[in-house]
A and B are shown apart, each in its own frame.
Chain A
Amino acid sequence: MSTLLELEGLTTSFPIEGKLVPIVDEVSLKIDEGKCLALVGESGCGKSMTALSILRLVPRPGVITSGEIRIDGRNILPYSVPQMRAVRGDDVSMIFQEPMTSLNPVTRVGDQVLEALRLHEKVSKKAAQQRGVALFKRVGIPDPEARFRSYPHQMSGGLKQRVMIAMALITKPRLLLADEPTTALDVTIQAQIIELLRELQRDFKTAILLITHDLGVVNQLADEISVMYAGRVVETGPRQKLLGSPSHPYTKGLLAALPSRALPGQPLFEIQGTVPSPKDWPEGCRFRGRCAEAREVCAASIPRLQDNPPGLTRTACFAREESP
């Protein structure tokens, strides 16, 4: 299986109070063709910014300060604007968190989907329409011909998210960036959308970078998982290993905090403290303020991802290095 997307030391910074703060800090990821990598972390940890960096759509005044983004082994950071436009939507598509506002309210949804196709391929209007309607059917939109001519306000949230997925997939991208695709939907619709994403991943051989804080979704979709904390990847590994035997204290804490793991009658587990804001991230390991296993070395330097003994994940933690 060949590597589709590789991030190496990707750093995206924003100026905060006059100095550049890396919101995404030396993130390295790898997604193989047709696989699903879940990027997990709490709000503000830099997950979405990582996805936007891959498309080079970091909102101003943010900038990508270092690192490489390789698609098929080619670094896309030096690409010109037109070259980048050819990548966006064609090789890499993105679906957003909020289907309610991700569609233009004054344009028919069908036209919006076709626009996505016609930006990248020269197809006749009729052929494009046929492809669009077929894809609508494929993503489970009932009565696709009629829905093709609907306006967004005539659709429910679940339908809109299906339209968004159709819009992202119509060019047959090889990588889909899904930024919390189910967060804004209610639970039954969530399950349907996850099921749909799984089918589409299998049928279209599309790799997915799934950004979420919902471990239930991760469990159903992901092949690999990377956990982010305060802009850095702290642990990465195959799903079973990471969920089964996590080794970073933060990952352990996250999993222990799942309500389904709590014992009846006992208070729910919580990780003490709060996430530090980017402008006062501590020196060294950024989790050390909340970590039960923190030691002196944690304050001295930032831990890097290290191989753990076979059968375990890669972890950025000094505690693991000393006592595996």
Chain B
Amino acid sequence: MTDTSLSPALQALVSNSIVLLLIVGGVLGGRAIRKNDIWRGACSGLFARRRLSVIVVGLYVLVALADSISWVGGSAAGEDQVAAHEARSLIDRAFAGTKEKSYSAPFSKTEFYDKSPLRHPKKHWFGTDVLGLDVVYVTLKGAKVALLIGGLTSLITIPLALFFGMTAGYFGGKIDDAVFLLVSILASMPGILLLIVLIMVMGRSTLSVCIALGITSWVGFCRLSRGEAMKLRELDYVAAARALGASHTKILMRHILPNLMHLVVITFVLLFSSLVLAEATLAWLGIGVDGSWGQMIAAAKDELSRDPIVWWNIAPAGAALFFLLLAVNLVGDALRDVLDPRTLGERT
């Protein structure tokens, strides 16, 4: 699932430090939000409107985090020896030893084809896949991949788009022309074709898929932030800041960027779901990230034509994808409402 070039211990260290960073970042971010009236109001407004969606998204994040906390050793009985030397996460350990030989139906006692008894009868809620892996386990593992694709790609996309959009909109003139030439060139190429080419060139690792998705998806937000920066630069408080002797950098950082933050948040949420979906499309084409729900769906599509039908592989993956996207979109929708500057004054 991850780069095989790293040693297992190092892999565990990297993913554990990322978890630690995320938790520290979450705590610090939460504190910053609590100190700032506008953001605190937005957060409580969001929670009041979409409690269930927020909780669902939180659950996905928890599963992904649990799948990232990993260490080497401590092999469970009944597993092959290779696993003992791999870095295995909390989720891996929770499902240790559940591997069967092949397909089995949900809550079945026997295997699907040869009717030989399972090692863990009636334990597999959604049966097992062709390799005998518990489908619930595989689906839970997909959460990390989905969040990684959405999160990492947004991390590439949004700063890139903000940088180009803000400078183009604020300075205008030649810089604007140059940025817009770039944007127009990217926008005039069919996205999926560009994606395929980029992934072919960079290889099919998680990182390169994220970079490819990032390169093809920053254009929209770049346009948006450019337009917004153009509007903001004409406002009186920007003129006032210039009259007080502030430099362009200072104005961009203190006056333009903070006023774009609500767009950043909304874009992040909406972009996130479109990226997860885009990866599913790539998986269908056979160039997705290993272990993603898209890949599960792509692999399970042929199973639907078997007789009797094997439905328990595609259903959980599809459902997991569907509920993540639904929850994220609902959160994004509510975020747009609570962060709308026109309603800010009314609420506080």
| Given A106-B38, A106-B259, A107-B254: A116 in contact with B244 (beta carbons within 8 A) | yes
Is the CB of A94 closer than 8 A to any CB of chain B?
yes
A15 nearest CB across to chain B (Å) = 15
Main secondary structure of the interface of B (DSSP, over half): helix
Does A96 contact B236, Cβ atoms closer than 8 Å?
A: yes
CA distance A167 to B345 in the complex (A): 23
Question: Chain A residues with Cβ under 8 A from B258's Cβ?
Answer: 104, 106-107
Question: Chain B residues with Cβ under 8 A from A102's Cβ?
Answer: 236-237, 239-240
* Contact partner, B239, options A57, A60, A90, A105, Cβ 8 Å: A57
Is the CB of A154 closer than 8 A to any CB of chain B?
yes
Does B348 contact A104, Cβ atoms closer than 8 Å?
A: no
Is the CB of A87 closer than 8 A to any CB of chain B?
yes
B171 nearest CB across to chain A (Å) = 10
* Contact partner, A104, options B172, B245, B259, Cβ 8 Å: B259
Residue of B nearest to A177 (CB): B243
Does A120 contact B240, Cβ atoms closer than 8 Å?
A: no
| Given A96-B240, A106-B258, A164-B240: A101 in contact with B247 (beta carbons within 8 A) | no
Question: Chain A residues with Cβ under 8 A from B241's Cβ?
Answer: 104, 115
* Contact partner, B255, options A96, A104, A116, A164, Cβ 8 Å: A104
* Contact partner, A153, options B242, B244, B250, B348, Cβ 8 Å: B348
Is the CB of A7 closer than 8 A to any CB of chain B?
no
Q: Which of A86, A103, A106, A168 has the most CB of B within 10 A?
A: A106
Does A119 contact B38, Cβ atoms closer than 8 Å?
A: no
CA distance A154 to B348 in the complex (A): 8
Question: Chain A residues with Cβ under 8 A from B246's Cβ?
Answer: 85, 89, 115, 119
CA distance A93 to B348 in the complex (A): 32
Question: Chain B residues with Cβ under 8 A from A89's Cβ?
Answer: 243-246
Is the CB of A55 closer than 8 A to any CB of chain B?
yes
Does A88 contact B242, Cβ atoms closer than 8 Å?
A: yes
Question: Chain A residues with Cβ under 8 A from B245's Cβ?
Answer: 85-90, 119-120
Does A105 contact B236, Cβ atoms closer than 8 Å?
A: no
Does B345 contact A94, Cβ atoms closer than 8 Å?
A: no
* Contact partner, B244, options A103, A119, A151, Cβ 8 Å: A119
CA distance A110 to B261 in the complex (A): 21
A147 nearest CB across to chain B (Å) = 14
A217 nearest CB across to chain B (Å) = 20
List A residues 128-152 near B (Cβ within 8 Å). 151
Is the CB of B344 closer than 8 A to any CB of chain A?
yes
CA distance A57 to B255 in the complex (A): 18
Is the CB of A42 closer than 8 A to any CB of chain B?
no
CA distance A93 to B259 in the complex (A): 24
Does B237 contact A101, Cβ atoms closer than 8 Å?
A: yes
List B residues 246-263 near A (Cβ within 8 Å). 246-247, 250, 254-255, 258-259, 261
Is the CB of A98 closer than 8 A to any CB of chain B?
yes
Residue of B nearest to A81 (CB): B247
Does B341 contact A85, Cβ atoms closer than 8 Å?
A: no
* Contact partner, B235, options A87, A101, A115, A119, Cβ 8 Å: A101
Is the CB of B37 closer than 8 A to any CB of chain A?
yes
Question: Chain A residues with Cβ under 8 A from B255's Cβ?
Answer: 104, 107
CA distance A93 to B244 in the complex (A): 6
Question: Chain B residues with Cβ under 8 A from A151's Cβ?
Answer: 37-38, 348
Does B240 contact A167, Cβ atoms closer than 8 Å?
A: yes
Residue of B nearest to A152 (CB): B237
Q: Which of B38, B244, B246, B261 has the most CB of A within 10 A?
A: B244
Does A57 contact B243, Cβ atoms closer than 8 Å?
A: yes
Does A103 contact B242, Cβ atoms closer than 8 Å?
A: no
Residue of A nearest to B243 (CB): A94
* Contact partner, B247, options A85, A104, A120, Cβ 8 Å: A85
CA distance A89 to B244 in the complex (A): 4
Does A57 contact B240, Cβ atoms closer than 8 Å?
A: no
Residue of B nearest to A115 (CB): B254
Question: Chain A residues with Cβ under 8 A from B259's Cβ?
Answer: 104-106
Contact with A along B320-348 (1 / 0, CB 8 A): 00000000000000000000010011001
Does A106 contact B348, Cβ atoms closer than 8 Å?
A: no
Question: Chain B residues with Cβ under 8 A from A107's Cβ?
Answer: 254-255, 258
| Given A151-B37, A153-B348: A104 in contact with B244 (beta carbons within 8 A) | no
A96 nearest CB across to chain B (Å) = 5
CA distance A103 to B345 in the complex (A): 14
Question: Chain B residues with Cβ under 8 A from A103's Cβ?
Answer: 237, 240
Question: Chain B residues with Cβ under 8 A from A120's Cβ?
Answer: 245
CA distance A60 to B242 in the complex (A): 14
Contact with B along A185-228 (1 / 0, CB 8 A): 00000000000000000000000000000000000000000000
| Given A98-B236, A105-B341, A106-B258: A167 in contact with B348 (beta carbons within 8 A) | no
Does A94 contact B240, Cβ atoms closer than 8 Å?
A: yes
Question: Chain B residues with Cβ under 8 A from A104's Cβ?
Answer: 237, 241, 254-255, 258-259
B87 nearest CB across to chain A (Å) = 43
Q: Which of A101, A103, A120 has the most CB of B within 10 A?
A: A101
Q: List 16 A-B contacts (CB under 8 A).
A: A57-B242, A57-B243, A94-B243, A101-B237, A102-B236, A102-B239, A104-B237, A104-B241, A104-B255, A105-B344, A106-B259, A106-B261, A107-B254, A107-B258, A115-B246, A151-B38
Instruction: Give the top 4 A-B pairs by smallest Cβ distance, nearest first.
Output: A89-B244, A89-B245, A88-B245, A153-B345
- Chain B residues with CB under 8 Å of chain A are 37-38, 172-173, 235-237, 239-247, 250, 254-255, 258-259, 261, 341, 344-345, 348
